[in-house]
Structure 1
Amino acid sequence: MAADTHIAAVLTEVGRPLELVHRPTPRPGANEVLIAVKAVAFNPLDYVQRDRGFNVARFPAVVGSDIAGIIIARGSALPDDAAPPVGARVCAKAPTFATKAAPDYGGLQEIALVPAANVMLLPDDMPFESGASLPMAVVTTWSGWYTIGMPRETKFMPEDKMGMLVWGGASSIGSAAVQISAALGFVVYAVASEKHSEYVKQLGAHKVFDYKCDGAADAIVKAAKDDGVWLNTGFDAVGATADCLQVLREFVDANGVPTRLAEAVPMFGNAPQADGVIVKFIVSPLDDAERAEFTRFVFAWLATAIDEGRFVPSPPVRIMEGGLASADKAMDILRAGVSGTKLVIEV
């Protein structure tokens, strides 16, 4: 049984540090599960919600999307095969964005509510800390494909020579985009720090370019054309929109068919644009039923890919000491910039 109350890291107003408070523990709705959170991984959305109030409807709020833990209660309407049983080790995408940071659903607390569709059983040998790094990155990547209209059944053969640009290939979301793109048969041209080049290649990138080098965009264009690869799709994990556009605009075909860029970082103000390139900020389906079906598909794909060895948690996790009390510190470090690591706390 769940406790009557639990500790949560609560956002009381925009731009303020989180406060540790006791919150009443909710009961799961008909199609929800209640999770005792054991690990939380951090994403840029977390500090954007904290610092800007992005997609936060009201206060107090609880942010945090990537969690892993143990199911402690299930909704009354869930059939046995709709979600793992009570006691199962799972990872989950807490619906912080979809619920506009409604406090029962945020990940930064000891116990969180999650729609059953957002839950995946963890392999027995996968630590909670690694499992927590999976949901947001994988769902965001597939949401990128959804946003720019790429079909789920997309699959290319080597002779098709269809290219994918991934800028920020050593980041959590970027490394997921590299792995998923490679699994779908794209020839992946990734951009990352030189020190992470070999790691990103191990994840499936065909070639990796150092983002610190002047002329990286031109080098990517040349490499793809030399390889005979049509590089007409991109995924920007780090907000390098202008650089991605410099590459993709070179692959608009003679008939004016546009290239497409999925942008993972919220675009504020006058975002860069380029003729012939469609840029869209990544969103998930807005309809509740469609979103649940979409998320079930993503986690089914992920479970199979992990089982077949086509996907691994990435990048390596860095555990921040202090549990929930260190959440602000973790977000501040992430905002300042991390490379090739995923910040995680144990709860």
Structure 2
Amino acid sequence: MATHLAAVCVGKGRPFEVQTRPTPRPGPDEILIEVKSVAFNPADGQMRDSGLFIPNYPTVIGFDVSGLVLEVGENVPIKAKNGDPGPFFQPGITRVAAFAASFWRACDPGYGAFQERCLVPWQHAVPLPDTGISWNEAATLPVAVEVPLNAWNIMGIPRVGEVNASSISTASIGADTSGETQGIEKRKREALLIWGASSSVGTMGVQTARLLREDRDSSFTAVYATAGAANQKYIESLGADRVFNYKEPQVVDSIITMAREDGLVIRHCFLATGELAPCQAVLKAFLGHGEEGENQKAKIGSAPVVSPDAAEVHGIETIFVLPSMDEEERLAQFQYWLGTWLREKLANGTIRPSPEPRVVGKGVGAINAGLDMLLRGVSCTKLVVEVAE
């Protein structure tokens, strides 16, 4: 029986132990990945240290992974048929980045990222371009892309190119839409706010928001973001129009004042990391503006889990960003986010891996220390372990 090494989670609050595990075979709609690199997310630390989401031990956790497809199960698309645009997964050939599915498999250890072999539903994976993206860069992509794209979905923001008449009307600020150009100018009067843009999901939030801003039919004409002073230039390079230092005591007032000077309103915020209250304070300042008046709700898509003790603000809805718990719906979501959207954007160069990866070790034995480093705090970097060459 084939075996491989894994960083095994043996109990709540205990360090991972490197153990040998039997290598599983992929079932229907699954691929087996030879793991090359893994990247860390805050949820990894919560799972290891507090047992969040883990029903049974031992298990293997981790979400962000890149690697080579080794085997495929039944129904996995391998090559084009009848004009099928893909994605396709050829054993021994296709390089992928993937969002590991342990969470949706009751933490079955075969589906965790922190090991040398990992099972993944093919819908959770994106084939990588032949050149231009390293294993380490690829490992930074899946969670960083999924979270903001999901946030736009749950806040009701139409995908690029999918704006319809009703969504335009809902988002519009002015009532006069006579003439196509004038109507577009009237509609594009919103700034989209990314709070915590220096985090990995925040940097990708800025990149995806930039594409929304560039969509001529969307209501967004600017991307606002918050970041520490040292990272502001980098966030601007990703597409933010204005970047505010979240450490300044008057940052909320600064954002509100600038939006008003720009003639914009802020009704949507992606909270990538940080506190909820400042986001609520910004959005509250713009409630009741525009033709919809008090009936227009502002929305916050929150990547951090929303505390049950969080204050509620009338007119502002806060939604925790989580993929659907319905299996069929979730697979369709991931297939679009990764297999369609990300694959296309990587191919045409409109999205790049962000932030820069920082290698903190090699082999699964380095995963504990890398996760400890993440939990001590990092900014505008994605910590990565190189599992294999």
Bigger mean CA deviation after superposition, 72-81 or 334-343: 72-81
Partner of residue 222 from structure 1, selected from 246, 251, 257: 257
Q: What SS does the corresponding residue of 2:268 show, helix, strand or coil?
A: strand
Partner of 1:105: 111
Partner of 2:336: 297
| Identical residues among aligned pairs (%) | 36
Q: What SS does the corresponding residue of 1:174 show, helix, strand or coil?
A: helix
Write out per-residue CA displacement over residues 62-81 of structure 1, whole angstroms, 9 at most, x where no aligned residue: 11101000000001222324
Q: 5+ residue gaps in structure 2?
A: 80-86, 169-183, 214-219
CA distance in structure 1 between the partners assigned to 2:74 and 2:227 by the alignment: 46
Partner of residue 146 from structure 1, selected from 135, 153, 177: 153
Are residue 90 (structure 1) and residue 90 (structure 2) matched?
A: no
Are residue 260 (structure 1) and residue 288 (structure 2) matched?
A: no
Partner of 1:117: 123
Partner of 2:352: 312
Partner of 1:46: 44
**Residue 68 of structure 1 contacts residue 91 of structure 1 at CA under 8 Å; is this kept in 2?**
yes
Q: What SS does the corresponding residue of 1:251 show, helix, strand or coil?
A: coil
CA distance in structure 2 between the partners assigned to 1:317 and 1:217 by the alignment: 31
Write out per-residue CA displacement over residues 168-218 of structure 1, whole angstroms, 9 at most, x where no aligned residue: 111100001110011011311100011111110110101001111111111
CA distance in structure 1 between the partners assigned to 2:235 and 2:158 by the alignment: 25
**Residue 146 of structure 1 contacts residue 284 of structure 1 at CA under 8 Å; is this kept in 2?**
no
Write out per-residue CA displacement over residues 24-65 of structure 1, whole angstroms, 9 at most, x where no aligned residue: 111101100000000001111111111221111211121110
CA distance in structure 1 between the partners assigned to 2:365 and 2:101 by the alignment: 22
Report the CA distance between 1:288 and its aligned residue.
1.0
Q: CA RMSD in A?
A: 1.6
Partner of 2:71: 73
Q: 1:100 to 1:216 in 2, by over 3 A?
A: farther
Write out per-residue CA displacement over residues 280-303 of structure 1, whole angstroms, 9 at most, x where no aligned residue: 111101111111111111121112
CA distance in structure 1 between the partners assigned to 2:185 and 2:15 by the alignment: 49
| Rg (Cα) greater in structure | 2
TM-score (norm 1): 0.95
**Residue 83 of structure 1 contacts residue 119 of structure 1 at CA under 8 Å; is this kept in 2?**
no
Q: What SS does the corresponding residue of 1:131 show, helix, strand or coil?
A: helix
**Residue 4 of structure 2 contacts residue 23 of structure 2 at CA under 8 Å; is this kept in 1?**
yes
Query: Amino acid of the residue matched to residue 136 of structure 2?
Result: E
CA distance in structure 2 between the partners assigned to 1:100 and 1:143 by the alignment: 22
Partner of residue 206 from structure 2, selected from 160, 170, 178: 178
Q: 5+ residue gaps in structure 1?
A: none
Query: Amino acid of the residue matched to residue 108 of structure 2?
Result: A
Q: 1:96 to 1:109 in 2, by over 3 A?
A: same
Equivalences for 1:162-201 in 2 at 5 Å?
A: 162-185=190-213, 186=220, 187-201=222-236
**Residue 65 of structure 2 contacts residue 99 of structure 2 at CA under 8 Å; is this kept in 1?**
yes
**Residue 224 of structure 2 contacts residue 242 of structure 2 at CA under 8 Å; is this kept in 1?**
yes
Q: What SS does the corresponding residue of 1:265 show, helix, strand or coil?
A: coil
Report the CA distance between 1:263 and its aligned residue.
0.7
Q: What SS does the corresponding residue of 2:113 show, helix, strand or coil?
A: coil
CA distance in structure 2 between the partners assigned to 1:244 and 1:100 by the alignment: 33
Report the CA distance between 1:163 and its aligned residue.
1.5
Partner of 1:135: 142
**Residue 361 of structure 2 contacts residue 384 of structure 2 at CA under 8 Å; is this kept in 1?**
no
Q: What SS does the corresponding residue of 1:320 show, helix, strand or coil?
A: strand
Are residue 25 (structure 1) and residue 23 (structure 2) matched?
A: yes
CA distance in structure 2 between the partners assigned to 1:96 and 1:262 by the alignment: 23
CA distance in structure 2 between the partners assigned to 1:255 and 1:268 by the alignment: 26
Bigger mean CA deviation after superposition, 34-43 or 91-100: 91-100
Are residue 206 (structure 1) and residue 241 (structure 2) matched?
A: yes
CA distance in structure 2 between the partners assigned to 1:51 and 1:243 by the alignment: 28
Report the CA distance between 1:17 and its aligned residue.
0.6
Bigger mean CA deviation after superposition, 267-276 or 57-66: 267-276
CA distance in structure 1 between the partners assigned to 2:296 and 2:303 by the alignment: 23
